[in-house]
């Protein structure tokens, strides 16, 4: 059987971590099994669905490189369209409502929302599950006509069996069983003809020939309702896989109070697409040997639904940060430079690096490559190459002006001003040799030479390797800065 899976987001906001994880597992499964990955937009919640949210989801999926074989922008297949509201316009859902009504699996319900709420309240008071009480399930023709005469509109409800149970085998959860008595006569279609999620989802999963439905386990209580609809229509349900919950560090379901939940926030912070994907793949899935890093295509090669875990996964931001650093280190200097420029322009922060020489920027970034954890760290790590020299006061006090160091610091800078004009700046080794020789001649420790030069040219005590930094900065700039520093702190 052909493997066909889908990601079916409701465009009611940003794309969240949990949603991406669902999309990713579907994507990985499709790629691994040489199947088809479908993106379907479930936009039937008219009050909350927006076009801009659809765009956010599509753009985020593209950034994450979770490309779909069928879906928005690729509507040519026999299964199109991929927006549920477009499918509604084509009468797709109405057709099956008519069949269910005719076969007696569904009925028109004329109760108002207030009346339904009252029923629920009564059930609650009687310590029963708060469900619709089936009031309209067996109306006579006359009763229906009477309601219609009153101007009432009808929703379509599913006629749920009152006894028995529904059972299915879930790839992740194993055997699952629900008592029918706990399920209510849920609404299939609203009075305005818009289908509800539980109905539209079944019709589309069937018509789009989904082999598997892989989704978050927050949907597991919807699955028995959906299986009832499949059965009523005489259809075979797909195979289900309900992915484990994602929890925050405190054990509560992941939410805003645990930090960022929207994938765009992570992009803004400077997480890399592949690092985020690698991290999310490990939320509820692992290999036998608990491999952590999956560079290149190895996620697809290793993925299997059988190794998805039913126990909740914990979202650990510090592990994600670590992983991002690993991915950054695994890339070439050129790749990081390109990713940084893309990120700067995507975050509309071009001003941050305005006027910065690109060749120098690339070299500066490569000096700091090992240290970068997030793309957003980069400007702060390299800006001293491009900005007017500005001093960290502690660095100045400690390295240039402390009682024990100021004389040698002054002398080192003065000697640099005299000697560096004739110094070869062609390699870090040559510059290191220069500094070591100077220390020897002056009879001071190496650090008494290295540290003042560092503070004099960068204003700080931390930074890239000193001699690489001098090489990249170039002779003129290094000399200019040392002169400036000497003028400022050692004028007389």
CB 216 within 8 A of CB 109: no
Least separation in angstroms between residue 9's CB and ligand GLU is: 5
- Cα 154 to chain centroid, rounded: 40
Q: Does 9 bind ligand GLU (CB under 6 A)?
A: yes
CB 131 within 8 A of CB 99: no
Distance CA 254, CA 283 (A): 12
**# of chain residues touching ligand GLU (CB under 6 A):** 8
Least separation in angstroms between residue 316's CB and ligand GLU is: 24
Q: Does 273 bind ligand GLU (CB under 6 A)?
A: no
Which has the closest alpha carbon to 193: 91, 43, 83?
Answer: 91
Q: Does 215 bind ligand GLU (CB under 6 A)?
A: yes
Record the tokens describing residue 141, joined without a space.
């023709």
Which among 5-13, 133-141, 404-412, 479-487 is the span making contact with ligand GLU, rule CB under 6 A?
A: 5-13
Least separation in angstroms between residue 147's CB and ligand GLU is: 32
Read out DSSP for 121-181? HHHHHTTS------TTTT--HHHHHHHHHTT---EEEE---SSSEEEEEETTTEEEEEEGG
In the bound state with ligand GLU, the residue whose beta carbon lies nearer, of 211 and 411, is: 211
Least separation in angstroms between residue 201's CB and ligand GLU is: 5
Query: Which residues, 6+ apart, have CB-to-CB distance to 143 below 8 Å?
Result: none
Least separation in angstroms between residue 227's CB and ligand GLU is: 13
Q: Does 280 bind ligand GLU (CB under 6 A)?
A: no
Least separation in angstroms between residue 8's CB and ligand GLU is: 4
In the bound state with ligand GLU, the residue whose beta carbon lies nearer, of 92 and 433, is: 92
In the bound state with ligand GLU, the residue whose beta carbon lies nearer, of 100 and 201, is: 201
Type and span of the H or E element at 246: strand 246-247
CB 124 within 8 A of CB 130: yes
Least separation in angstroms between residue 113's CB and ligand GLU is: 22
Which among 4-12, 98-106, 322-330, 468-476 is the span making contact with ligand GLU, rule CB under 6 A?
A: 4-12
In the residue annotation, 108 being an active-site residue is answered as: no
- In Å, how far are 388, 450, 472 from 427, measured between CA atoms? 25, 16, 9
Distance CA 373, CA 196 (A): 44
In the bound state with ligand GLU, the residue whose beta carbon lies nearer, of 25 and 147, is: 25
* Binding residue for ligand GLU, selected from 201, 276, 320, 435, defined by CB under 6 A: 201
Q: Does 219 bind ligand GLU (CB under 6 A)?
A: yes
Distance CA 325, CA 346 (A): 20
Q: Find the catalytic residue in 65, 162, 165, 256.
A: 256
In the bound state with ligand GLU, the residue whose beta carbon lies nearer, of 64 and 201, is: 201
Distance CA 331, CA 369 (A): 9
Q: Does 4 bind ligand GLU (CB under 6 A)?
A: no
In the bound state with ligand GLU, the residue whose beta carbon lies nearer, of 223 and 366, is: 223
Distance CA 308, CA 323 (A): 21
Which among 6-14, 248-256, 318-326, 439-447 is the span making contact with ligand GLU, rule CB under 6 A?
A: 6-14
Least separation in angstroms between residue 59's CB and ligand GLU is: 17
What is the pattern of x (binds ligand GLU, CB under 6 A) and - over residues 40-79?
--x-------------------------------------
Question: 3-state DSSP: the chain helix, strand, coil percent, rounded to 5?
Answer: 50, 10, 35
Which among 8-16, 307-315, 335-343, 349-357 is the span making contact with ligand GLU, rule CB under 6 A?
A: 8-16
Query: Which residues, 6+ apart, have CB-to-CB distance to 130 below 8 Å?
Result: 120, 121, 123, 124
Distance CA 277, CA 31 (A): 15
Q: Does 8 bind ligand GLU (CB under 6 A)?
A: yes
In the bound state with ligand GLU, the residue whose beta carbon lies nearer, of 201 and 336, is: 201
Q: Does 10 bind ligand GLU (CB under 6 A)?
A: yes
Query: Which residues, 6+ apart, have CB-to-CB distance to 349 below 8 Å?
Result: none
In the bound state with ligand GLU, the residue whose beta carbon lies nearer, of 201 and 263, is: 201
Q: What's the full length of the chain, in residues?
A: 492
Largest CA distance in the chain: 111
Catalytic residues, by residue number, are 256
Note the residues at the interface with ligand GLU (CB under 6 A).
8-10, 42, 197, 201, 215, 219
């Amino acid at each position: 059987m052909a493997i066909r899976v889908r990601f079916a987001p409701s465009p009611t906001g940003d794309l969240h971590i949990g949603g991406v994880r669902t999309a990713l597992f579907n994507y990985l499964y499709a790629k691994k099994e040489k199947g088809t990955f479908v993106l379907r937009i479930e936009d039937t919640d008219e009050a909350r669905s927006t076009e801009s949210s659809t765009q956010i989801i599509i753009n985020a999926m593209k950034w994450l490189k979770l490309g779909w074989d069928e879906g928005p922008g690729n509507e040519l297949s026999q299964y199109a369209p991929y927006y549920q509201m477009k499918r509604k316009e084509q009468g797709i859902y109405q057709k099956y409502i008519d069949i269910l009504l005719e076969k007696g699996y569904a009925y028109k319900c004329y109760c108002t929302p207030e009346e339904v709420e009252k029923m629920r309240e009564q059930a609650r008071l009687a310590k029963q599950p708060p469900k619709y009480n089936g009031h309209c399930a067996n109306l006579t023709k006359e009763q229906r006509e009477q309601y219609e005469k009153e101007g009432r509109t009808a929703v379509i409800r599913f006629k749920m069996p009152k006894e028995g149970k529904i059972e299915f085998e879930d790839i992740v959860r194993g055997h699952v069983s629900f008592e029918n008595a706990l399920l209510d006569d849920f609404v299939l279609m609203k009075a305005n003809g818009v289908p509800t999620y539980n109905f539209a989802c079944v019709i589309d999963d069937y018509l789009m020939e989904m082999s598997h439905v892989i989704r978050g386990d927050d949907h597991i209580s919807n699955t028995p309702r959906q299986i009832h609809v499949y059965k009523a229509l005489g259809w075979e349900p797909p195979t289900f896989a309900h992915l484990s919950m994602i929890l925050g560090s405190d054990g509560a379901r992941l939410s805003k109070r645990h930090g960022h939940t929207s994938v765009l926030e992570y992009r803004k912070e400077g997480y890399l697409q592949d690092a985020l994907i690698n991290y999310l793949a490990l939320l509820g899935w692992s290999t036998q040997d608990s491999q952590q890093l999956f560079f290149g295509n190895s996620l697809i090669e290793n993925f299997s639904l059988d190794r998805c875990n039913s126990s909740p996964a914990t979202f650990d931001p510090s592990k994600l940060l670590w992983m991002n650093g690993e991915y950054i280190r695994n890339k070439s200097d050129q790749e990081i430079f390109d990713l940084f420029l893309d990120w700067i322009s995507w975050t509309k922060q071009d001003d941050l690096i305005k006027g910065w020489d690109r060749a120098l920027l690339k070299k500066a970034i490569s000096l700091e490559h090992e240290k970068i954890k997030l793309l957003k760290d980069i400007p702060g790590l390299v800006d001293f190459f491009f900005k007017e020299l500005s001093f960290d006061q502690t660095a100045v006090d400690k390295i240039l002006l402390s009682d024990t160091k100021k004389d040698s610091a002054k002398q080192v800078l003065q000697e640099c001003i005299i000697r560096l004009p004739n110094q070869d700046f062609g390699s870090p080794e040559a510059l290191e040799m220069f500094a070591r020789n100077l220390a020897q001649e002056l009879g001071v420790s190496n650090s008494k030479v290295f540290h003042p030069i560092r503070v004099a040219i960068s204003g700080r005590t931390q930074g890239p390797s000193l001699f690489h930094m001098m090489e990249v900065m170039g002779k003129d700039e290094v000399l200019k800065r040392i002169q400036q520093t000497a003028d400022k702190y050692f004028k007389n």
